[in-house]
Structure 1
């Protein structure tokens, strides 16, 4: 299939707004964001990832205008080659400290990324190593902050504040974190540093962006792109939740991430690799990550993964563990009510509402037993399919109180124990995006779709996820509250005295203040949602062999995009006509059956 290039071309946007990782569908070549064009590639041995060395796009700050202490700093913006050379005639950055002044600079790489720092030095006057302090940050504030107990800056999981010694006429590569900014300071007095290069080491999977989404609304387009890129940065050795902190396989986080992967990248080995890891380190009767719902998400992800890719052999490998897990779940039901042990958790913002958690756990059990029944049916295991079906039916006879929680009401709507229209009108749509969360916001959007409120969901995406973008986000965050917008400063600049520092002031639970991840995969829900409900792609048959096209444009004039299937790319375009009807064009692999909504 050949797609017109004009469809896939994107306007180059400033690096301060949003990155683009898009592909030409005809050759499936991923174009890196503009901030990454000034770089070179290097394959990592025995790894499915690639390194790309990125020069900074801007010297964001320097501690002094005194050229006797700092000069030629813009030399660092040149194309990196990663090689020391036997000359200092190139105008390298010179930093000199005195007894009283230890100069520093702040580098901006244009976009939040995963990796480390490469420093290449020149022929310093003394051959003794020169110590520098490096501080990495997802925001300007974080990069300028020290480890303390006031603003929450930490070295948890990944070192972001450390001192290293640089060699004479050599190179040092160090660091493994998530950051956009890097601050470099001289540590000792009366030292001179000649710095030829200071590059970010972007570590990522060099994979094409097969799926795409474009409409007449650039705000939605950017949100789709940022969600895709956020997950891409978390596709490391395993599928992580965050590139700075908690670089772990959290199964709840995986569900929106995997939904985004299927919409953007298609099959990728990081998903089964991560699902298998968490299974293998969680012997029954333990819950994955210690959280009962996270074991349920594991089941739901496997059902969805099989639906998209149709690998029955891989699904069969899960059967023995699935039997133990579903029976363990059944043992935590008394009558028709959940009595789950382990950590009782939906998401952080709902964690202090026990009634909502109870309603959510009841719903999650239903969802997991429904998914189990589907898996057992595929695996020709009628006995276990019957057990799962009966458990789901029993649990549906009880209707818990949602306790005013949008999280709980969404899950109850999605699993059929609350009327979708009522759930949306009385709870989810109440006060707009108030009480949304970046994780469960995805299921709030899904519940709104089930209620037929597609326009409301589109507006929620613009307002809630768009607000993070308005504050300077190039990746979506671990959490966000719309109230944080009040008098807020952007994260990509210094904070004026009369403004609120969002990164240093907000967040809670495990993500207090600067500990807060600003690149968190569970926040990517709008990317998957826009592909599914606006572009209208619904997978009906395993292996994506049958796909329903059911678009809901809301107030959009047109939308077009691509969707990856195991048999190739599907291309879709919808145009709203003068009478309000929608004209649809779909093309793709011949052996993919396309059906249309009535």
Structure 2
């Protein structure tokens, strides 16, 4: 009996049994050895299905075309069922009308859409058009060159076919709203469920912040949530666009992660990725400052978590990177190549960029010296320290830039009080969501804590006033003038913020409304108002130095490798603070004088 005479089902069964036998001993059958092997990293994310909180809009009140839409607001189970369909959403198109609805999921999130259908009269697939949006305007917009709506990086406008009595899961973007329209004439759709698929890391919010000011509390939480949504396979800049590992963006994000989530694998995973895809003498992301941010992040990450073995893994690359930075210094001045970039709003001020790059080199060499000291590489630590000292002998003009003045103050080449005057000029005008964090840090260095608290309320709070549930890629306080909220249709005579503003890579509806670099106030409030600062690697020693400004009380928690530290400050009648601290026994607490 030759092989060709064996019934096909029996052949499959034999192969299957052989596969089980070989895999039991940790190897595949020899026949599989010619296959190409791909290793896929573990995905530690969770999927959660969320029903819409509101049917925000429907194209017609004619129940012959749309009815039972509120059925979609029920608890999702994600399962098609045999039923009479009498309560399901019914959408019917005619030769001239193709109805649509707009769903509101209540908060900006990362993920896709799950659609569960009923027993449609015809078993033919029914085509629908899905449009996702971070604002009402974006979800209602077509891809065009007028308002900037795109499918860049993540598909947000697409047509799919839905099965009869089945389920389809589609989409991978950032959105709060989803619009669903019938595509073809004379079709009927029975929709049992239309759920958002929230894809996220199911991790606890270990850090916390609460005060008598609900606006500040909301800002702290929104910054934490914004970063959480960007903690996907890697740590991204934005959940709609670009969805990439931009190292400069990582610094505020990692600062927030340290304050909220503590250790998370997404940070070293992202730092290692950008290192491994950037051979020397290239700059990370093509931007010189972004390689410097990589160094600074590693110094900060070690300070919080104390993993010397992981820091040691960076030594070989760091030596090459530092040599490369040294080669881009002439005398005591930076002469950096690559893309010369601080943030977008400062990108048309070359003198400010020069001052900022000088400061960034100082910051990066200073961080390098700290790292090499930990790694007991005295030669490299000495060289980094010498470079820092040399660069500090040159003090460039900040050129009227709040970004440059902030960096110069933080790196010791500009008087903090003078820098704060520049940062405070015209209030929060010329703030940016990215470098706003360093402006707040510069104000803290000048001991203008009340000014920083006021800036947080005004600048980041303004995004909340416009309907934001996550912080944006950019924001200009001037956008408030005659502005409509992003969570509603734009009234006649009002300015559509999402469709009207933005520049550079984030014009109009292409603008990310969930961008991790905007989370700076979360880290800042934990550090300077709750007053928890890390002094020794691994968070073994914490300084408690609160600055409540006009707040009556504040309390919260801070994550360490040994557990949570609880802190509470209450302002007494004489203005002094009553402080309560509870910490793991491995963590030493010291207090400011």
The alpha carbon displacement at 1:131 in A equals 0.3
1:597 aligns with: 592
Distance 1:90 1:213, change over 3 A: farther
Q: Quick one: which of 526, 535, 540 aligns to 1:540?
A: 535
Q: Quick one: which of 466, 482, 485 aligns to 2:480?
A: 485
Q: Quick one: which of 438, 447, 456 aligns to 1:443?
A: 438
Q: Work out whether 1:583 is the aligned partner of 2:575.
A: no
1:568 aligns with: 563
C-alpha distance after superposition, 1:42-101 (max 9, x if no partner): xx9942000000000000000000000000000000000000011134500000000000
Gaps of 5+ in 2: 1-39
CA distance in 2, matches of 1:444, 1:66: 54
Distance 1:250 1:96, change over 3 A: same
2:184 aligns with: 188
Q: Quick one: which of 476, 492, 496 aligns to 1:497?
A: 492
Q: Work out whether 1:64 is the aligned partner of 2:64.
A: no
Please, which moves more after superposition, 559-568 or 79-88?
A: 79-88
CA distance in 2, matches of 1:218, 1:461: 13
CA distance in 2, matches of 1:388, 1:464: 37
1:514 aligns with: 509
What aligned pairs does 1:386-397 form with structure 2 within 5 A after superposition? 386-397=382-393
1:10 aligns with: none
SS across alignment from 1:230:
helix
SS across alignment from 1:98:
coil
Q: Work out whether 1:162 is the aligned partner of 2:161.
A: no
Q: Quick one: which of 406, 413, 416 aligns to 1:410?
A: 406
1:523 aligns with: 518
Q: Work out whether 1:467 is the aligned partner of 2:462.
A: yes
Q: Quick one: which of 45, 66, 69 aligns to 1:73?
A: 69
Gaps of 5+ in 1: 1-43
SS across alignment from 2:112:
strand
SS across alignment from 1:308:
helix
CA distance in 1, matches of 2:470, 2:69: 28
SS across alignment from 1:99:
coil
Contact 2:473 2:515 in 1 (8 A): yes
Q: Work out whether 1:433 is the aligned partner of 2:416.
A: no
CA-atom RMSD in angstroms:
0.8
CA distance in 1, matches of 2:571, 2:415: 30
1:36 aligns with: none
SS across alignment from 2:131:
strand
2:4 aligns with: none
Q: Work out whether 1:270 is the aligned partner of 2:266.
A: yes
1:556 aligns with: 551
1:204 aligns with: 200
Q: Normalising by the residue count of structure 1, what TM-score does the alignment of the two structures yield?
A: 0.92
1:456 aligns with: 451
2:49 aligns with: 53
What aligned pairs does 1:319-330 form with structure 2 within 5 A after superposition? 319-330=315-326
Max Rg structure = 2
Q: Work out whether 1:373 is the aligned partner of 2:369.
A: yes
C-alpha distance after superposition, 1:548-571 (max 9, x if no partner): 000000000000000000000000
The alpha carbon displacement at 1:325 in A equals 0.3
Contact 2:85 2:119 in 1 (8 A): no
Contact 2:304 2:539 in 1 (8 A): yes
CA distance in 2, matches of 1:376, 1:255: 20
SS across alignment from 1:540:
strand
Q: Work out whether 1:138 is the aligned partner of 2:134.
A: yes
SS across alignment from 2:409:
helix
C-alpha distance after superposition, 1:86-137 (max 9, x if no partner): 1134500000000000000000000000000000000000000000000000
1:91 aligns with: 87
CA distance in 2, matches of 1:455, 1:91: 56
Q: Work out whether 1:238 is the aligned partner of 2:234.
A: yes
C-alpha distance after superposition, 1:345-402 (max 9, x if no partner): 0000000000000000000000000000000000000000000000010000000010
2:172 aligns with: 176
What aligned pairs does 1:243-254 form with structure 2 within 5 A after superposition? 243-254=239-250
Contact 2:467 2:486 in 1 (8 A): yes
Q: Work out whether 1:283 is the aligned partner of 2:279.
A: yes
2:222 aligns with: 226
Contact 2:85 2:118 in 1 (8 A): no
Q: Normalising by the residue count of structure 2, what TM-score does the alignment of the two structures yield?
A: 0.93
Distance 1:90 1:211, change over 3 A: farther
C-alpha distance after superposition, 1:143-202 (max 9, x if no partner): 000000000000000000000000000000000000000000000000000000000000
CA distance in 2, matches of 1:288, 1:537: 31
Distance 1:90 1:585, change over 3 A: farther
1:125 aligns with: 121
CA distance in 1, matches of 2:251, 2:218: 22
SS across alignment from 2:525:
helix
CA distance in 1, matches of 2:196, 2:554: 36
- Consecutive aligned runs of 4 or more in structure 1 exceeding 2 Å deviation: none
SS across alignment from 2:454:
helix
**Number of residue equivalences:** 554
Q: Work out whether 1:336 is the aligned partner of 2:363.
A: no
Distance 1:447 1:106, change over 3 A: same
C-alpha distance after superposition, 1:466-506 (max 9, x if no partner): 00000000000000000000000000000011100000000
